[in-house]
Every structure is written in C-alpha cells, then in structure tokens.
Amino acid sequence: MNHTHTLAEAARIVARDVLALRPEEQFLIITNPGGDAFEISRALYEAALEAGAEATIVVQPAKTQLDFANLATVAAFGSNPQVCASISENKLGKDRLAGIKPYATAEGKTFDHAFNYQLSGAKTLRAIWTPGVTVDMFRRTAGIDYSLLQRRCDAISRALEGAESIHVTAPGGTDVTVPVSGRKPFRDDGNFTAGGTGGNVPAGEVFISPLPGRAEGVIAFDGSISLNEGDLIVKERVRVVYRGGFITEISGGAEAERLRASIEAGEKKAFEFEAEGKIPAGTGAAYAKNARGLGELGIGLNPAAQIRGNMLEDEKAFHTCHFAIGSNYDDDADAMIHLDCLVRNPTIIVNYPDGTNTVIEQDGILVAPFGDIE
C-alpha cells in the first residue's frame, strides 16, 4: 500500500490523527534552522493554524545527545504548552538546569528535563519527537492507518504484560535473554491525544525496558546502528556480548569500533558532567556504568518504514527488532547515551512465570494472532 502524501497532507494527518490539535491550544515546535527539519516544522505550523491552535516555532542549532539545549528553548516550556513537537536533525538537547536540580513529582519521581517532566511527570503535555526526520520519510511514513497500528500495538503490549523474560534469536547470531519481570511495555502507536502521551513520527513500535544488570547473551546488530554522530547501515555485523547486564565484548569491523567509541564517549562524558556540576554529585560512576547497559528492546511495526540508515525510521520497520545501549525508559538506569541498534528477522519469544510462552515473531514474521490483525 502506498502511504506517500504531500508534505502538507502528512502534516494535517499528524495534527488531526496523532496529536488531535484543538482550537486555542498552545503548540510548541522546536526545530533547527533550514533543511528538512525546518521544512517539516513549517508544515506542522501551518496545519496547527488550520486547526485553530496557537503555534510557536523555536529555532536552535542542531544538538547531539551529549549537548545542552539552548536556555531559551528550555525556557519555552515555562509557557506550559499542551502540545510539543521536537523536529530535530538529531536531538532536542539536555536541560542543563534540571540536570543539576531535577524536577520532582509528589511521589518523589525525578526528571532531568522540563520536557520529560511535563510529559511523564505532570502529564500535562502530549508530544512527538522526530530525531533525524527527513521530508521523504515524513511523507512516506506519517500517513499510515493509525487505527490498525494501534490494534496491533495493543495486542503485542498485552502479550508482554506479566512477562518474566524475552528470548530473542536471529540468523545474524543474536541469542539473548532479556529479563523484564515487573516491567510495563510502552507503545509508540501514534495515539498521542491525551496529556502524558507521546512518541515518534514515524510511529510504529512496542518497546520495554529490560531490568538493569540482568541481560545475558549475544546481540548481533546486522541492520543499522546509532552513533553519537549519527546513524549508519551495518556492512559487517557488530557483535556485543552482555554478561551480568552489561557489555563485556564488542567485535566486528569498523562499525564495531565506531560503536565502541560512542559508548566510551558516553562513559567519559558522565564523569565530565559530574565534575562540572551538570549532573548530581556522586552519579558520574553510575551514569558511566549504564553506558554499557541494555536500555530497551523494541519491535518495529510501521508497514511503510524501511531500513535506510536513519534509526528514526529503521527501528519502526517490519521484520526487525532493536536494542538500545545505555539509558532506559523506566528511569532507573540513567546514562549519557541511548544508542538504538537493529537486528533483522528476529524470533521473539515471551516467557511467563508459569512456564508458558508466546511467540510474537518467527524469523521476522509476526505470527498469529499478531500477524492476522486487520
């Protein structure tokens, strides 16, 4: 099925079906100057005005996950927008003030960014974020059947509820067991219509945070990998070994060495930030250790997504799963990095405490009932 739309049409679909923008809502768009990110931001701005929302674009230089967002960018969250879109070439950037003095909820949960606090703490914000998005990608992958995606994400999320562990194997050499007892799955299903919800555009994945320090086995990345400086398609598979929940070996070719360098940069940056007072005193060693942790297991579910060397799209592609090296989404294993890396044609088996299991994918193909949802 051809999902390609004009840029304006795709922006209207996102404004209507994904964000449900309403008249007079404050819509904050954060982007970079020029290029595809700004062009998409302008299209979303126009779509928001058509919906009657009060839209504002904030432009800052491109940031990596090791950079700080501009102070004025973070200050824009002081307007308490109902909706936010981070349309960036790479990342939004860290919140330098909240890194030192985190936001806290009444329950004592802390957040090191105003965006994360409003989204997941106060739950007043709904949002999309699109690191590395291109006009071509947005036109091809943003205008999908979201109701179908949501039904499929719901079924897979139910299969992950109450799981003890997930076993993933793949032809490229992956054989890893991921403990997830007590964890709740997340879904990037394109339904970001209520406060406290958000995800990527393109949408299309179900993901879960592994228990820190527990993963065991080998992951062979044979799709694409994220590095601090960007994403690339793997030519020689990258093999990482997890023992006691942390990477103990990295092997392969040039891509493996570049991944190692990105991990080591995350380790080094943790101690630098602690020394400079940019993260709380005494947390540098933990942040550095978690740079070798396993932060995510995700399953790609967007029928229009393809592996093109851009992780925003690659990780949503059918017949793939991805693992993240570094920080997780349950906020109990913070790191300076979160590097998504792709595995092709996985077999994914969910194991439950009573000894039963559910197969979600077999050699990259969604099995019944997940593959039969219409």
d(CA 146, CA 190): 6
Residues 6+ apart with CB under 8 A from 321: 168, 297, 298, 299, 300, 342, 343, 346, 348, 361
7-136 CATH: 3.40.1830.10
C-alpha neighbours within 13 Å on the C-beta side of residue 197: 13
d(CA 276, CA 119): 28
pLDDT value of position 5: 92
Exposed, middle or buried by CB within 10 Å (0-12, 13-18, 19+), for 244? exposed
Q: How many residues does the chain have?
A: 374
Task: Quote the DSSP letter at residue 209.
Answer: P
Task: Quote the DSSP letter at residue 334.
Answer: -
pLDDT value of position 2: 61
- Rounded to 5°, the CA angle 146-151-152 comes to 100
Task: Quote the DSSP letter at residue 235.
Answer: S
Report residues of the chain scoring pLDDT below 70: 1-2
Task: List 230's β-bridge partners, or say none.
Answer: 227
Instruction: For residue 67, give both structure tokens.
Output: 């950079």
Cis upstream peptide for 212 (omega within 30°): no
CB 294 within 8 A of CB 322: no
Cis upstream peptide for 202 (omega within 30°): yes
Instruction: Specify the amino acid at residue 17.
Output: D
pLDDT tens digits for range 150-168: 999 999 999 999 999 999 9
pLDDT value of position 4: 85
CB 169 within 8 A of CB 130: no
pLDDT value of position 99: 86
The H or E element that residue 353 is part of is none
Exposed, middle or buried by CB within 10 Å (0-12, 13-18, 19+), for 93? buried
CB 338 within 8 A of CB 322: no
Three-state secondary-structure class, residue 2? coil
Task: Quote the DSSP letter at residue 252.
Answer: S
pLDDT value of position 34: 86
C-alpha neighbours within 13 Å on the C-beta side of residue 286: 11
User: Where do you find CATH 3.40.1830.10 in the chain?
Assistant: 7-136
Three-state secondary-structure class, residue 62? coil
Return the number of other C-beta atoms located less than 10 Å from residue 91's C-beta. 19
pLDDT value of position 331: 87
Three-state secondary-structure class, residue 373? coil
Instruction: For residue 133, give both structure tokens.
Output: 């998005």
